[in-house]
Amino acid sequence: MKFSRLLGGALLASALIGYGSVAFAEDAAPAPDAAAPAATSDEAAPPAKPAKKAKKAAKPGPQDGVWTGTFVQVGHAKAFPMSITFSGKTIETSYPDQSCAGKLAKVGTKGDTSFFAETITQGGVDAATGKGCLDGNVTLIKSGDGFIWGWVGQHDGKPIVAYGTLAKQATVPAQ
């Protein structure tokens, strides 16, 4: 496979996941045409484009609020508490028994299922002890009044899978 095809695929994947953006040359404004005649005073100038309206603050969505539940890691018997807080476009995770927290970046949605990349912002894995939380991928499936939560990641090349359910506990005030 050619390097350019690999690079193009990597850039596309990066853009889809939200870690970067891709701009192509055809997206740029065209260069002025030096051969085009200059407008004369007899010619009417094109009408000015109306100014764009300022974006309104995001309205709280039905998912906004604090969702709590428990999860189980495959291969372990103990259930752990967790919460996800939706506030506008900010989505934060909390794993109190592990002293970990993170942020979710939305990758996409299909029907009642949403996909996220999770970045741990507090309590990440300590290289010396191997303890802590890992970055991974989260799937949320709307199920009745709650969510089914799925997580997958890896550590030292070994897959780690966890799953649980979440129920809405509180609403976060609009910002």
Secondary structure (H, E, C), 19-56: CCCCCCHHHCCCCCCCCCCCCCCCCCCCCCCCCCCCCC
The predicted pLDDT at position 151 comes to: 98
* Residue 63 pLDDT level (bands cut at 50, 70, 90): confident
pLDDT surpassing 50 at residue 24: no
Question: Which burial class, exposed, middle or buried, applies to 142 when counting CB atoms under 10 A from its CB (0-12, 13-18, 19+)?
Answer: middle
* Residue 53 pLDDT level (bands cut at 50, 70, 90): low
Q: Averaged over 44-54, what is the pLDDT?
A: 60
The predicted pLDDT at position 42 comes to: 53
pLDDT surpassing 60 at residue 156: yes
Please give the Cα distance from 55 to 53 (Å, whole number): 6
Stated as kind and residue range, the H or E segment containing 102 is strand 100-110
Please give the Cα distance from 173 to 125 (Å, whole number): 32
The predicted pLDDT at position 4 comes to: 36
Decide yes or no: CATH 2.40.128.20 for domain 65-170.
Answer: yes
Q: Which amino acid is at 66?
A: V
Q: For the whole model, what pTM was predicted?
A: 0.63
CA atoms lying within 13 Å on the CB side of residue 114: 13
pLDDT surpassing 50 at residue 165: yes
Q: Which residues pair with 86 in a beta bridge?
A: 65, 91
Q: Averaged over 17-41, what is the pLDDT?
A: 36
> Tens digits of per-residue pLDDT, 76-133?
999 999 999 999 889 999 999 999 999 999 999 999 999 999 999 999 999 898 889 9
Token readout for 88 is: 């506008």
